[in-house]
Amino acid sequence: TSLPDLQELRTEVNSWFTEAALEASLGLVQSETETIARRWLAKSGKRWRPFLTAGLWRTLQKNKKGPLPDTLRRLTMAVECFHKASLIHDDIEDHDEQRYGEKTLHKRYGMPIALNVGDFLLGEGYRLIGALDMAAERKEKILQVAAEGHRNLCLGQGAELWWLSHQQLLSVKEVLEIFRQKTAPAFEVALRFGAIYAGAAPETEEILRQYSEALGIAYQIRDDLDDAETEPQNAGAWLCRKQPSILTAVAYERARGDDKTILKAFWQRGQCSDMIATRLDDLWKCLNVEAVTRDLLESYKNRALCVLSGLNNTDLKSMLRRVISKIFYDVEVMSCCNDYQAGNAPSGPTGPKSAQ
SS3 of residue 318 by DSSP: helix
Residues of the chain with pLDDT under 70: 1, 230-244, 268-277, 330-356
* Same domain flag for 325 and 192: yes
Q: Is the residue at 146 inside a domain? A: no
Alpha-carbon separation of residue 219 from 7, 115, 140 (angstroms):
20, 26, 29
The pLDDT of residue 234 is: 61
The pLDDT of residue 251 is: 87
Give me the CATH number covering residue 33.
Answer: 1.10.600.10
The pLDDT of residue 46 is: 84
Q: Of 297, 310, 309, which is closest to residue 344 (Cα–Cα)?
A: 297
The pLDDT of residue 352 is: 31
Residue 286 lies in domain = 169-330
Total number of domains in the chain: 2
Count CB neighbours of 108 within 10 A. 12
* Same domain flag for 191 and 83: no
* Same domain flag for 178 and 264: yes
Q: Is the residue at 17 inside a domain? A: yes
Count CA within 13 A, CB hemisphere, residue 204: 21
Q: Is the residue at 248 inside a domain? A: yes
The rounded distance, in Å, linking the Cα atoms of 337 and 298 is: 11
Q: Is the residue at 263 inside a domain? A: yes
* Same domain flag for 177 and 258: yes
The rounded distance, in Å, linking the Cα atoms of 352 and 53 is: 35
